[in-house]
Amino acid sequence: MTPAVIDLSHVDSVVRAHVLERLSASGLSEQVFVGHFYRLFAQGQFSLLDLLGPNPATLAAIQELEEGTGVVYDSTDELFADLHADNFAV
């Protein structure tokens, strides 16, 4: 198999330096790290959501629920009826 070439020039140089420092301290190379990441992603053991995390709207909804002010539905039918209520308004 021909090794892949990954262009990391768009990665912030300070961030990359920190990553390389941590990899070196762990005895890993950048190539091994990327290969391992690819395998985890391909096997479904790692999601892009693990990297991105929740967006501001989701964080606000989580906070509402934690504070007890969020809307809780008894069923998915009730949820979807509420979500689509504006679609049928005259």
3-56: pLDDT as tens digits: 778 888 899 999 999 999 999 999 999 889 988 988 998 998 888 877 788 889
Q: How far is CA 74 from the centre of its chain?
A: 28
User: CA separation (Å) from 78 to 2, 4, 54, 68, 89?
Assistant: 53, 49, 24, 19, 17
- Number of Cα atoms under 13 Å in the Cβ half of residue 72: 7
Q: Name the residue ranges covered by the structural domains of the chain.
A: 13-51, 56-88
Q: Any idea which residue has 């209520």 for tokens?
A: 85
pLDDT at 13 (0 to 100): 93
> pTM here?
0.48
Residue 87 has pLDDT above 80, yes or no: no
Q: How far apart are CA 50 and CA 43, in angstroms?
A: 14
At residue 90 the predicted structure's pLDDT band, cuts being 50, 70 and 90, is low
* Per-residue confidence (pLDDT) for residue 1, from 0 to 100: 67
